[in-house]
Amino acid sequence: MSPIQDKLAAEEECRRTEEEDRWCKIALESLTDAQREKFAADPLDVLMIVRGFWGESDRRKAICDAIKMIADWRDKVGFYKFFDCHIQDDKNFHAWWPEKMYGHDKWGHFIQGVRAGEVDTDSLMTLSDEALESLQGQKMSAYQIYKHEWMMQNGSQRYKHTLCVDLTNMSMNMLRGKKRQVLQKIFHIGSTYYPESMWKIYLVNSPLIFRAIWAIIKPWLHPVTLSKIQIIGSAKEAIKKMNEEGIPIEAIPDWMGGKHPGVSTHDYISQIIERRRGFRVL
């Protein structure tokens, strides 16, 4: 086990320091009163932005620009109403881009899994940009809620998770024409509006063609995100690597040879919506 990972996990678990508290106040001051009130309701929301931009040369500008951009985006897509009801076309979106949530590593980071061969880019192209933003945003927000619930149950602060992508059957066809724009937009939403949420990214079962595909995708990603990516040739190699990095076989997706069947992200979103409806009735 890498002592670096233990150190990073300890830093993630560390509650807001006095210096970070000052930066959070600076960030909130750049928002409108209405935006500030919504952001301040979840202190971890602001802290993730502050920590996500700690290495920038002009930290004040980077943090203030980021939180303002995120706040404006939230206003545009109806972020704070994501779980009032199902968003139009959500069943189709999750059928065309199916994901599951699997187990946790030794620190509490859950595994988000997606299989490239199950992604239907032809159908995703039929969705408008506005629909894609709302649906992908709702999904990313559901993962944030999932992490919050884990924190409440376990008492440890965890706001990052691991992504595991099965590259089996991935082809250049997925990146032709408008399909490329669709994938780029989905990646952009996660990396831009949900900073500091990724722990590790495992790209598994990489085919020979992936070298050409990677050359296209790589420029879309932030350098910090790129540093967390591991491209692994086979599931067997991936399991060994994941075991070494604190992920037990019980937490690894069953399609890799692990023992976790996964929970449908769409089903989990439906649970959130139903719980909130019940809360409002009471």
C-alpha distances in angstroms, 41 versus 34, 94, 103, 180, 218?
11, 29, 29, 36, 35
Residue 33 lies in a domain: yes
What is the maximal distance between C-alpha atoms in the chain?
56
- The pLDDT, as a whole number, for residue 1 is 56
Residue 82 lies in a domain: no
Write down the residue that tokens 């150190």 correspond to: 7
Distance between CA atoms of 260 and 266, rounded to whole angstroms?
A: 17
- The pLDDT, as a whole number, for residue 120 is 94
Domain boundary among 54, 77, 100: 77
Distance between CA atoms of 15 and 47, rounded to whole angstroms?
A: 9
Rg, Å, the chain Cα set: 19
For residues 214 and 231, is the Cβ–Cβ distance under 8 A? yes
Q: How many separate domains does the chain show?
A: 2
| In a shared domain, residues 187 and 129 | yes
Domain boundary among 29, 47, 77: 77
- The pLDDT, as a whole number, for residue 74 is 97
- The pLDDT, as a whole number, for residue 279 is 61
Task: Give the chain's length.
Answer: 282
- The pLDDT, as a whole number, for residue 278 is 74
Tokens coding 204: 């598994």
| In a shared domain, residues 32 and 101 | no
| In a shared domain, residues 172 and 122 | yes
| In a shared domain, residues 94 and 72 | no
pTM: 0.93
Residue 209 lies in a domain: yes
Residue 85 lies in a domain: no
- The pLDDT, as a whole number, for residue 281 is 43
- The pLDDT, as a whole number, for residue 224 is 82
| In a shared domain, residues 123 and 73 | no
| In a shared domain, residues 184 and 65 | no
Residue 35 lies in a domain: yes
Q: Which domain holds residue 174?
A: 90-281
| In a shared domain, residues 108 and 245 | yes
Residue 152 lies in a domain: yes
Residue 84 lies in a domain: no
Residue 243 lies in a domain: yes
Measured in whole angstroms, the distance separating CA 274 from the mean position of its chain's CA atoms is: 22
Distance between CA atoms of 247 and 202, rounded to whole angstroms?
A: 12
- The pLDDT, as a whole number, for residue 222 is 79
| Residues 168-194 as b or e (16 or more Cβ within 10 Å = b) | eebeeebbeeebeebbebbbebbbebb
- DSSP codes, the chain: --HHHHHHHHHHHSPPPHHHHHHHHHHHHTS-HHHHHHHHT-HHHHHHHHHHTTT-SSHHHHHHHHHHHHHHHHHHHTGGGTTTSPPTTHHHHHHHS-EEEEEE-TTS-EEEEEEGGG--HHHHTTS-HHHHHHHHHHHHHHHHHHHHHHHHHH------EEEEEE-TT--GGGGSTHHHHHHHHHHHHHHHHSTT-EEEEEEES--TTHHHHHHHHGGGS-HHHHTTEEEES-HHHHHHHHHHTT--GGGSBGGGT-SB--EEHHHHHHHHHHHHHHHHH-
Domain boundary among 77, 103, 136: 77
Residues of the chain with pLDDT below 50 are 281-282
Measured in whole angstroms, the distance separating CA 276 from the mean position of its chain's CA atoms is: 22
- The pLDDT, as a whole number, for residue 282 is 39
Cβ within 8 Å of residue 224, ≥6 positions away: 52
The tens digit of pLDDT for each residue in 26-51 reads 999 999 999 999 998 898 999 999 99
CATH classification at residue 243 = 3.40.525.10
